[in-house]
Chains A and B, each alone.
Chain A
Amino acid sequence: MTPAILAIINTALPLLITLWKQARSADPNAATYTDEQMFEMLQSKGDEIANKAAVWLAEHPKV
């Protein structure tokens, strides 16, 4: 029984540790988008900022 457990521990444990480390090292903030989606997000964010600025400036005329 003991050799079997040892064999399992010796083989499975390093494997599990490697997989665990691999999962931990993956960047959770990594881009999960396609190029086109990225461009679309960039463009819409830019437009949103520009529009918000224009609206605010229109509401707050220079005195």
Chain B
Amino acid sequence: MKLTPETVEHVAELAKLALSPEEIARFAEQLSEILDYAEQIQSIDTQSVDPTPYVLPLRSVMAEDEVRPSLPNPQATANAADAGDGFFRVRAIFDEGSGS
């Protein structure tokens, strides 16, 4: 399995990671090697095998929907790079045009 630099760039976009050209070239090589190694599981017959995403036989439980004390707002936002008025402040999501 040879990953092309284009595939690595695509995956980096999905993962929201800015990578340098050097990182893209290096990861293409290293990830290809790791995927080659992982390839060995393909030979195992798993046709009628259920997947195991979790090892516990736990089931969801119901809880009363009651209001309980939670983290006070100032503490919840204390670690933010930019916060104010009890909110996290971020750049506009939609482009409003230049200069606005």
**A and B are partners in one complex rather than unrelated chains:** no
Residues of B within 8 A of A (CB): none
Residues of A within 8 A of B (CB): none
